[in-house]
């Protein structure tokens, strides 16, 4: 997630020296329901491949947001067939969930916005009557599921998605999280830490990743876009690498598509809104250069494709294989500074593909693992490109840490109504800088590269990070990690 939405933390360099100014700153099963509601017959998704073992997780109850997600189940795969009606602002969908029982279960409880209507549901191919409890959807099971048993549930639904409150005081908090329909008939998502449930039934927690097949239908002139690898059939996307719900993105709108090729042939796609986003597109075209910079430090880009979709948001997200970039998050400064801000935000979000997307947090206590590495990647890029000196970056980051640590708590135990405040960005980035200074560049970049490349598609936490760092360096760096994550004030 970008820190650009938190304008107080924008770093600007004054030309003379390193002066620092803190600005004020697949496979649907109910085509009949779908067709009846949209008038559009869904395209058949590719046949599901294998048994979805790539989507296996060991979910835990989230210690920060325990009301979200269901740690008793492990969703292996989501097949989402979604139609969008821009004039009515209606989403009509079928979700097919392949679920593994992580514990013995007697029912399937999912997160799903109470404002969306369920039209039909099945479990193991048989129709069931669902129960709704607020934003929980409960599907009954004919027989209890033993631990490890798998079952397929389908839910057909429709309605107008609405975002829910973002548990944060960030500058972009007012827009909420989840999917929203806009006045012009577009729809888009911005949904960290839990907003996926506003548009599809899911276990909405970072510790339960799954593979996806998404099939989007929109009227002529409109485009449905999702993260994942395009299958070749318009509107269809496949994610073979597991994705956390907060890293899924879908947008419907009037879009222009630009394609390019990144380092060693990575296919790139930039979706910009027709008639706008020229500055963003110009910067997006430099994605190969940024990927190259990141790969030189952290090893190969860990996914088969990359790109971005531009939406009308105040935020930006590292959604997997396709960034979701809010145009309002990166504009509003003078042209040169806007270009720099876009550059920095894009490096930040791209770096999350190594730190957050490929190696994800087991639960929301671990957001510092995402943002610390992304903020530090962004900082190193600022220094490498001459935007900041190391000293000016460090002074800026320490100052921001002091301010936000006092407001939102230490990064390892932040206030739950201050999700993704600057405290989880700057302090952990300075912690990484302290580790780099202690062990040297060669050992540090080997550590960062191995952290990702040896643990692709896993979820990690503070204990595993500390153990990895100590093993990799042969030193005891736990005191450094603990002081930066736990201290109520900025460590000296």
Give whichever of 101 and 432 is closer to Zn ion, judged by the CB atom: 432
In whole angstroms, the minimum distance from the beta carbon of 1 to Zn ion comes to 4
Give whichever of 119 and 371 is closer to Zn ion, judged by the CB atom: 371
Can you tell me which of 374, 380, 394, 431 binds Zn ion, judged by CB under 5 A? 374
Give whichever of 1 and 75 is closer to Zn ion, judged by the CB atom: 1
Give whichever of 4 and 82 is closer to Zn ion, judged by the CB atom: 4
Site for Zn ion in 219-258 (CB under 5 A): none
Give whichever of 123 and 347 is closer to Zn ion, judged by the CB atom: 347
In whole angstroms, the minimum distance from the beta carbon of 350 to Zn ion comes to 10
- Strand pairing report for 323-326 and 306-311: parallel
Give whichever of 209 and 371 is closer to Zn ion, judged by the CB atom: 371
Give whichever of 1 and 225 is closer to Zn ion, judged by the CB atom: 1
In whole angstroms, the minimum distance from the beta carbon of 474 to Zn ion comes to 30
Number of Cβ within a 10 Å radius of residue 463? 10
Give whichever of 152 and 329 is closer to Zn ion, judged by the CB atom: 329
Give whichever of 1 and 226 is closer to Zn ion, judged by the CB atom: 1
In whole angstroms, the minimum distance from the beta carbon of 371 to Zn ion comes to 5
In whole angstroms, the minimum distance from the beta carbon of 385 to Zn ion comes to 19
What string of H, E and C letters represents the secondary structure of the chain?
CCCCCCHHHCEEECCCCCCEEECCCCCCCCHHHHHHHHCCCCCCCCCCCCCCHHHCCCCCCCCCCCCCCCCCEEEEEEEEEEEEECCCCEEEEEEEEEEEECCCEEEEEEECCCCCEEEEEEECCEECCCEEECCEEEEEEEEEECCCCEEEEEEEEEECCCCECCCCCCCCHHHCEEEEECCCCCEEEECCCCCHHHCCCECCCCCCCEEEEEEEECCCCCEEEECCEECCCCCEEEEEEEECHHHCCEEEECEEEEEEECHHHCEEEEEEECCCCHHHHHHHCCHHHHHHHHHHHHCCCCCCCEEEEEECCCCEECCCCCEEEEHHHCCCCCHHHHHHHHHHHHHHHHHCCCECCCEEECCHHHHHHHHHHHHHHHHHHHHHCCCCCHHHHHHHHHHHHHHHHHHHCCHHHCCCCCCCCCHHHHHHHHHHHHHHHHHCHHHHHHHHHHHHHCCCCEEECHHHHHHHHHHHHCCCCHHHHHHHHHCCCCCC
- Strand pairing report for 178-181 and 187-190: antiparallel
In whole angstroms, the minimum distance from the beta carbon of 282 to Zn ion comes to 22
| C-beta separation of 259 from 268 below 8 A | yes
Give whichever of 100 and 353 is closer to Zn ion, judged by the CB atom: 353
Site for Zn ion in 352-371 (CB under 5 A): 371
Q: Which stretch binds Zn ion (CB under 5 A): 45-53, 178-186, 304-312, 373-381?
A: 373-381
In whole angstroms, the minimum distance from the beta carbon of 347 to Zn ion comes to 11
In whole angstroms, the minimum distance from the beta carbon of 291 to Zn ion comes to 17
Site for Zn ion in 386-415 (CB under 5 A): none
How many residues of this chain interact with Zn ion, rule: CB under 5 A?
Answer: 3
In whole angstroms, the minimum distance from the beta carbon of 235 to Zn ion comes to 28
Gap between the Cα atoms of 336 and 5, Å rounded:
18
Can you tell me which of 1, 210, 230, 424 binds Zn ion, judged by CB under 5 A? 1
Give whichever of 91 and 284 is closer to Zn ion, judged by the CB atom: 284
Q: Which stretch binds Zn ion (CB under 5 A): 1-9, 120-128, 298-306, 378-386?
A: 1-9
Gap between the Cα atoms of 345 and 118, Å rounded:
38
Q: Which stretch binds Zn ion (CB under 5 A): 44-52, 100-108, 372-380, 468-476?
A: 372-380
In whole angstroms, the minimum distance from the beta carbon of 318 to Zn ion comes to 6
In whole angstroms, the minimum distance from the beta carbon of 375 to Zn ion comes to 7
Peptide bond into 283 cis (omega under 30): no
85 lies in the binding site for Zn ion (CB under 5 A) = no
Residues that bind Zn ion (CB under 5 A): 1, 371, 374
């Amino acid at each position: 997630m970008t820190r650009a939405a938190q304008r107080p933390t924008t770093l600007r360099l004054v030309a003379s020296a390193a002066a620092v100014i803190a600005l004020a700153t697949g496979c649907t099963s109910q085509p009949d329901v779908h067709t009846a509601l949209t008038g559009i017959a869904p395209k058949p998704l590719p046949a599901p491949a294998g048994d979805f073992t790539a989507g296996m997780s060991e979910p835990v109850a989230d210690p920060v947001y325990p009301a979200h997600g269901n740690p008793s189940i492990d969703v292996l795969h989501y097949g989402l067939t979604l139609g969008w009606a821009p004039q009515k602002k209606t989403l009509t969908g079928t979700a097919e969930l392949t679920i593994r029982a992580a514990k013995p279960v007697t029912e399937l409880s999912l997160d799903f916005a109470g404002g969306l209507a369920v039209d039909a549901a099945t479990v193991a191919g048989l129709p069931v009557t669902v129960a709704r409890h607020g934003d929980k959807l409960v599907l009954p099971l004919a027989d209890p599921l033993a631990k490890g048993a798998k079952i397929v549930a389908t839910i057909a639904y429709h309605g107008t998605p609405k975002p829910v409150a973002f548990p944060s005081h960030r500058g972009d908090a007012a827009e909420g999280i989840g999917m929203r329909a806009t006045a012009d008939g577009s729809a888009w998502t911005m949904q960290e830490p839990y907003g996926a449930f506003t548009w599809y039934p899911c276990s909405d927690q970072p510790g339960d990743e799954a593979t996806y097949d998404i099939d989007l239908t929109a009227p002529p002139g409109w485009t449905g876009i999702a993260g994942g690898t395009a299958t070749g059939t318009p509107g269809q996307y496949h994610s073979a690498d597991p994705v956390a719900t907060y890293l899924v993105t879908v947008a419907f709108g009037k879009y222009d598509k630009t394609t390019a090729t990144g380092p060693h042939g990575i296919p790139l796609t930039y979706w910009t809104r027709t008639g706008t986003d020229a500055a963003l597109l110009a910067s997006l075209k430099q994605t190969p250069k940024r990927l190259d910079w990141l790969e030189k430090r952290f090893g190969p880009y860990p996914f088969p494709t990359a790109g971005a979709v531009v939406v009308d948001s105040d935020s930006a997200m590292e959604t997997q294989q396709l960034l979701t970039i809010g145009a309002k998050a990166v504009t509003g400064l003078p042209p040169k500074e806007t270009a720099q801000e876009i550059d920095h935000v894009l490096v930040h979000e791209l770096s999350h593909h190594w730190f957050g997307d490929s190696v994800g947090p087991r639960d929301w206590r671990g957001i510092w693992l995402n943002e610390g590495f992304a903020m530090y990647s962004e900082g190193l890029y600022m220094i490498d490109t001459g935007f900041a000196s190391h000293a000016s970056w460090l002074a800026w980051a320490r100052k921001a840490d002091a301010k936000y640590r006092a407001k939102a708590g230490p990064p390892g135990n932040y206030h739950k109504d201050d999700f993704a405040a600057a405290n989880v960005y700057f302090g952990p980035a300075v912690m990484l800088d302290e580790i780099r200074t202690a062990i040297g560049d060669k050992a540090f970049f080997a550590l960062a590269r191995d952290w990702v490349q040896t643990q692709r598609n896993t979820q990690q936490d503070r204990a595993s990070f500390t153990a990895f760092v100590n093993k990799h360096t042969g030193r005891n760096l736990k005191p450094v990690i603990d002081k930066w994550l736990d201290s109520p004030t900025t460590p000296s």
